[in-house]
Amino acid sequence: MKLVITEKNDAAEKIAALLSEAGKPKKDKVYDTPVYRFTREGEEWVTIGLRGHILAPDFPTELKFTDKQGWFAISSEGEVLPADVPDGLPRPPFKKKKPFLEDGVDIKGWKVPSLPYLVWAPVEKLPAEKGIIRSLKNLAKKADSVVIGTDFDREGELIGSDALAQVLEVNPDVPVSRARYSAYTRGEIEHAFANLVELDQNLADAGESRQYIDLIWGAALTRYLTMARFGGFGNVRSAGRVQTPTLALVVERERERMAFVPQDYWVIGGRACEQGADDDASFKISHAKGRFSVEEEANAAYSHVENATSGTVTAVTKRSRTQRPPAPFNTTSLQAAAAAEGLSPARTMRLAESLYMDGLISYPRVDNTVYPPSLDLRATAKMLAGVPQYAPYVAKLTAEPELHATRGKQFDTDHPPIYPTGVGDPSKLQPAEWKLYNLIARRFLATLSDPATIEGTKLAIDVAGEPFVASGDVLKVPGFRAIYPFGLKRDEQLPALAEGDVVDVRDLSLDAKQTEPPARYSQGKLIQEMEKRGLGTKSTRASIIERLYTVKYLKNDPVEPSQLGMAIIDALHTYAPRITTPDMTSELEQDMTKVAEGTDTQDQVVHHSRALLAGMLDALIEHKDDLGEAIADAVTADARVGTCPKCGRDLVVKSSAKTRGSFVGCMGWPDCDVTYPLPSGVRYEAIEGEAGVCPECGAPRIKCKPFRAKAYEICVNPKCPTNYEPDLKVGECKVCAEAGRHGDLIAHKSERSGKRFIRCTNYDECGVSYPLPARGKLTATDETCPECGAPMIIVETARGPWKKCVNMDCPTNERKTPARGRAAAGKASGAKKAATKKATAKKSAAKKTTAKRSSSKKNSSEAGE
DNA sequence: GCAAGGTC
């Protein structure tokens, strides 16, 4: 039996289909791993797909600190210190209990495990995909020969080399060869298997050097930053060859913005229209000078036109321009286009993976922007007629005798650009999935479409002797824009005017403005910038940006660095500058080339890199205290939500170790005891400036951002009148009155839960209490409910005030009562369950159609070749 | 509780 090992299941399936001589390969499973069996030249073949890297590099378990001992910091004297422990908790006696934590203790011949030694620690490769490895070994035992068919690049060679090591463990004498192909076409695959070569161990070693260097630098610097000032569990401060320069890009832009000195300028603008026309038909005009940099000049010009009500058209110029249809999508351009539609790159990749698995789009991790000749463009376009929204456009497009596709700049043959492979149904896909599918499908059709022709018109208008201009665009030939409206600004249309025409002029004004600092990166732009600088790969960039958000180095979109992010970059820039620039990646690339070419060995390159790191770590350890302080200050600044109304110190968001919840507390604790509760399950943000201080009580106002709901602002003080009237009397207790007592009904707010309720002052005797809505200002009335006699109150929310009976069991509350709420919620959850069921049904249905589709595609591509 | 690179 001949065993072919590929990088992914997809490749195993495709290669089996292309090499099989007697019909379709038989899909089988070894344990849980799909494999494909077929015969060729009288021999049994089987292909198996790995899942990328099956081994992961790591330090020996003795160095991993996987038990409770924590990571370690080094004092300036070079002494091994346990991690800082939050005040009040016992300091574990690490040194005594764990002798190997001492300096100079040998483990496997290495001194461990203080930070400087970590730099020199050995690295092992441990199984990461145990299931795949088990299946691989099972097949390898029975193999007469093995072909490594992983991707044709450095990581592919490494993945193949790791797989080979597993194979040789169980079948040491099996002959092994390497197939090198760069497209899943019959010609390419046949050629690769007819010209098998040896695995390139130098290339695999180059890949492994990359793994080791990334791990050693990342682990040492991450542990250092995390321990320089321990911020509690869950507060890792990470660093790495790609993430740190990426963060530096964002910080650099923020520094430019901070250093920016705005310049004053003035503009004169207004609106004009045909004589007597409506405001709706008016268009924008502006002074031909554009920006006045001298105020007096602007004033002078404005004084001429201030009272003008009409102008004369002095010139009309028209110029047509064409707009070329966009290039096919690769991963980066898809991420950028989707980011402009509000999907983060990481989310885009998760959605794309799901669409790919459902058979709706092609493989989403590609650099290529040129469709291969084997892709049947016409058939794909025709398939999209199955989506009703596209059908009319597809009919027109496919009526053309020939289809020409645009070509992008990047041309590889690994995979085709991202294109639709199935018919998407908006009623079956999640809204975000549909959004992405729609973008991809329309982009595909756009790449086959004609250019758009736009006629631009410029008007010169004389207003009281001052020159004004107006411009407008009209889409003359829509071309691709009829199907692809994304990323384009709307045209402003001008009425048909000729030289000498008189127009009405309105709303002229002189506005003082200031030049803007350079804009922050959008997530899409950041992805593109990373690509330009060689940071990360198409498969990793999205997740690296996401990582920078989870460690709280970045916030908001457009991307903004936190104080912590800026402090980290400042510190590393001073003591370990190599990690903060893309240079490390480009130098690593050069080293990898040397290893691949055999002029340097893996050991030499890794050793050299360790030595560089060791020097930088010495400097970092020397300044551990300064750096720890800078980090602590930055974290405080990030957590700051306002000033303490009692003592004037900073109020910050703190997290309670006991409840795992957050609260606002004063930095002056324990001298100052000011604390405020925070709503749970929402993210919060400080509000800058005056708006961040409650005008009623002086406590901070914060912005709350619930998941997938509208953000709102509140004062953090639950007793603040902006939250509710404290202890408001809403009426008298009827039950008590009937019993001959007096009881007042008072509105309260629980400080613990934040919930509001009404309770009788004689609650212990009568037990009367009513729930209240969570938000909204309450006002008492003199009225009692005509149905049940309970007091009426007014609740004022963002939607306006409404009067209601406080008794939730009262028939007048039936429409808005919690009872109805519960019923509705029950129904909603029932609907959700049904939807889930539907989704599951959809998934399996989609899988079926995928299978059908891929087999029909296979047929057509075979027919085409 | 560390990185970045594959892929699911």
Q: Is the pLDDT of residue A254 over 50?
A: yes
Q: How far apart are CA A369 and CA A606, in angstroms?
A: 35
Query: Token pair for residue A80?
Result: 């091994």
- For the domain covering A231-259+521-630, report its CATH number: 1.10.460.10
Nearest to A212 by CA among A619, A620, A613: A613
Query: Does domain A331-449 sit in CATH 1.10.290.10?
Result: yes
Q: Which nucleotide is nearest to A66 (CA to C1')?
A: B1
Q: Which nucleotide is nearest to A240 (CA to C1')?
A: B3
Share the mean pLDDT of chain A: 84
- Checking phi first, is residue A863 left (phi over 0); if not, alpha (psi -120 to 50) or beta? alpha
Nearest to A337 by CA among A82, A198, A770, A328: A328
The topology under which CATH files domain A2-55+126-199 is Rossmann fold (3.40.50)
Answer yes or no: are the C-beta atoms of A156 and A49 closer than 8 Å.
no
The pLDDT of residue A97 is 30
Answer yes or no: are the C-beta atoms of A620 and A576 closer than 8 Å.
yes
Q: Which nucleotide is nearest to A65 (CA to C1')?
A: B1
Mean pLDDT of A605-620: 90
Q: How far apart are CA A774 and CA A768, in angstroms?
A: 19
Specify which of A407-416, A478-487, A720-729, A739-748 reaches the highest per-range mean pLDDT.
A478-487
Residues 6+ apart with CB under 8 A from A579: A217, A221, A239, A240, A241, A244, A245, A572, A616
User: Is A31 considered catalytic here?
Assistant: no
- What digits encode the pLDDT tens for the residues A236-247? 899 999 999 999
Answer yes or no: are the C-beta atoms of A502 and A275 closer than 8 Å.
yes
The alpha carbon dihedral of A497, A498, A501, A503 has a sign of positive
**CA–C1' A345–B6 (A):** 18
Mean pLDDT of A447-466: 95
Q: How far apart are CA A401 and CA A126, in angstroms?
A: 57
The pLDDT of residue A660 is 60
Q: How far apart are CA A793 and CA A776, in angstroms?
A: 12
Core vs surface per residue A481-491: b (16+ CB within 10 A) or e? bbbbeeeeeee
Nearest to A113 by CA among A44, A313, A104: A104
Answer yes or no: are the C-beta atoms of A330 and A367 closer than 8 Å.
yes
**DSSP output for A432-475:** HHHHHHHHHHHHHHHHTSPPEEEEEEEEEEEETTEEEEEEEEEE
**CA–C1' A696–B6 (A):** 56
Q: Which nucleotide is nearest to A548 (CA to C1')?
A: B3
The pLDDT of residue A682 is 75
Q: Is the pLDDT of residue A722 over 60?
A: yes
Q: Is the pLDDT of residue A561 over 70?
A: yes
**CA–C1' A274–B6 (A):** 63
Q: How far apart are CA A527 and CA A494, in angstroms?
A: 38
**CA–C1' A44–B5 (A):** 33
Q: Which residues pair with A320 in a beta bridge?
A: A455
The pLDDT of residue A646 is 86
Nearest to A437 by CA among A340, A365, A539, A351: A351
What is the three-class DSSP state of A228?
A: helix
Answer yes or no: are the C-beta atoms of A216 and A610 closer than 8 Å.
yes
**Furthest-apart CA pair in chain A: how many Å?**
103
Q: Is the pLDDT of residue A807 over 90?
A: no
Q: When comparing pLDDT for A326 and A656, which is higher?
A: A326
What is the three-class DSSP state of A40?
A: strand
Query: Token pair for residue A511?
Result: 């506005």
Q: Is the pLDDT of residue A119 over 90?
A: no
- Residues of chain A above pLDDT 90, percent: 58
**List A363, A390, A419, A437, catalytic entry:** A363
Query: Token pair for residue A228?
Result: 């320089």
Mean pLDDT of A843-847: 42
**CA–C1' A68–B7 (A):** 32
* 3-state SS, one letter per residue, for A686-739: ECCCHHHECCCCCCEEEEEEECCCCCEEEECCCCCCCCCCCCEEEEECHHHHHC
Q: State how beta strands A502-514 and A264-274 pair.
A: antiparallel
Q: How far apart are CA A638 and CA A626, in angstroms?
A: 18
Q: Which residues pair with A334 in a beta bridge?
A: none
- What digits encode the pLDDT tens for the residues A513-539? 999 999 999 999 999 999 999 999 999
Nearest to A768 by CA among A794, A741, A735: A735
Q: Which residue is nearest to nucleotide B6 (CA to C1')?
A: A52
**CA–C1' A535–B4 (A):** 11
Q: Which nucleotide is nearest to A353 (CA to C1')?
A: B8
Rounded to 10°, the helix A523-532/A331-340 angle is 160
Which DSSP state fits A41?
T
Lowest-confidence segment of A60-69, A156-165, A363-372, A683-692 by average pLDDT: A60-69
Nearest to A24 by CA among A7, A10, A35, A36: A36
Which DSSP state fits A578?
G
**CA–C1' A10–B6 (A):** 14
Task: Count the residues in chain A.
Answer: 865
**CA–C1' A156–B7 (A):** 12
Q: How far apart are CA A444 and CA A451, in angstroms?
A: 14
The pLDDT of residue A650 is 85
Answer yes or no: are the C-beta atoms of A315 and A459 closer than 8 Å.
yes
Total Cβ atoms within 10 A of residue A859: 10
Q: How far apart are CA A78 and CA A98, in angstroms?
A: 18
Q: Which nucleotide is nearest to A414 (CA to C1')?
A: B6
Mean pLDDT of A754-778: 73
The pLDDT of residue A20 is 95
CA-to-CA dists, residue A385 to A13, A48, A458, A842, angstroms: 28, 36, 40, 21
Going by pLDDT thresholds of 50, 70 and 90, the confidence category of residue A433 is: very high
**CA–C1' A99–B4 (A):** 33
Nearest to A470 by CA among A304, A266, A273, A265: A273
Positions of strand B less than 7 angstroms from a protein CB? 1-8
- What digits encode the pLDDT tens for the residues A647-690? 888 888 877 655 666 788 888 887 888 888 887 777 777 888 88
Q: How far apart are CA A413 and CA A419, in angstroms?
A: 15
Answer yes or no: are the C-beta atoms of A418 and A366 closer than 8 Å.
yes
Lowest-confidence segment of A56-65, A267-276, A297-306, A453-462 by average pLDDT: A56-65
The alpha carbon dihedral of A410, A414, A416, A422 has a sign of negative
Nearest to A839 by CA among A342, A271, A433: A433
Q: Which nucleotide is nearest to A83 (CA to C1')?
A: B1
Q: How far apart are CA A202 and CA A593, in angstroms?
A: 9
The alpha carbon dihedral of A523, A526, A531, A534 has a sign of negative
Lowest-confidence segment of A316-330, A648-662, A842-856 by average pLDDT: A842-856
Residues 6+ apart with CB under 8 A from A560: A250, A254, A520, A554
The alpha carbon dihedral of A159, A161, A162, A166 has a sign of positive
Mean pLDDT of A815-822: 38
Answer yes or no: are the C-beta atoms of A405 and A377 closer than 8 Å.
yes
Q: Domain ranges for chain A, please list them.
A: 2-55+126-199, 60-122, 231-259+521-630, 264-321+455-514, 331-449, 644-715, 728-816, 817-865
Q: When comparing pLDDT for A807 and A36, which is higher?
A: A36
Q: Is the pLDDT of residue A85 over 80?
A: no
- For the domain covering A264-321+455-514, report its CATH number: 2.70.20.10
**DSSP output for A593-615:** HHHHHTSS-HHHHHHHHHHHHHH
Nearest to A148 by CA among A172, A174, A179, A182: A179
Going by pLDDT thresholds of 50, 70 and 90, the confidence category of residue A750 is: low
**CA–C1' A543–B2 (A):** 16
Q: Which residue is nearest to nucleotide B4 (CA to C1')?
A: A214
Q: How far apart are CA A267 and CA A265, in angstroms?
A: 7
**Which helix (H) or strand (E) segment is A213 a member of?**
helix A201-228
What is the three-class DSSP state of A483?
A: coil
- What digits encode the pLDDT tens for the residues A215-239? 999 998 998 898 788 777 678 899 9
The pLDDT of residue A664 is 86
- What digits encode the pLDDT tens for the residues A820-834? 333 333 333 434 334
The pLDDT of residue A100 is 29
Q: Which nucleotide is nearest to A53 (CA to C1')?
A: B6
What is the three-class DSSP state of A82?
A: strand
* Sheet strand arrangement including A777-784: A777-784, A791-797, A800-805
